[in-house]
Amino acid sequence: MQVVLNYPKIAVIRPQGCLNAANALEFERDMTTALAQNGISILVVDLAAVESLDSAGLMALLSTHKLALTLGRSCRLCAVTPQIRIIFELTQLDQVFEISDAETELTQT
């Protein structure tokens, strides 16, 4: 389901399709595993291939974001399509997550 790429200090996850109750736990587990790796300081979630996102998918992202803060790390989102971005805006989670149009903007630190 997800492709995980590792750059020095950065892990990138690219989920595809629907992020919903059917796969939210697996998605959260994948993000948590990537974030918990030694040497990783930034987790970038590339949402370009995500077609839909429900509350379970949002909770998986939010839980991972909270874990990142607890670990002193960062969870960032990139390539958020307009139909997915509106979900973040309506829930005001666009104020919580660092969201960028391009992965390269988020990985430059």
pLDDT one-digit tens code per residue, 50-82: 999 999 999 999 999 999 999 999 999 999 999
Tokens of 85: 């971005």
Tokens of 82: 């307009």
pTM over 0.95: no
Q: Is 100's pLDDT higher than 70?
A: yes
Half-sphere exposure of 10 (CA within 13 A, CB side): 14
Whole-angstrom Cα Rg for the chain: 12
Are the C-beta atoms of 93 and 80 separated by less than 8 Å?
no
Residue type, 13: I
Query: Per-residue pLDDT averaged across 29-35, rounded?
Result: 94
Q: What is the pLDDT of residue 96?
A: 96
The per-residue pLDDT of the chain, averaged, comes to 89
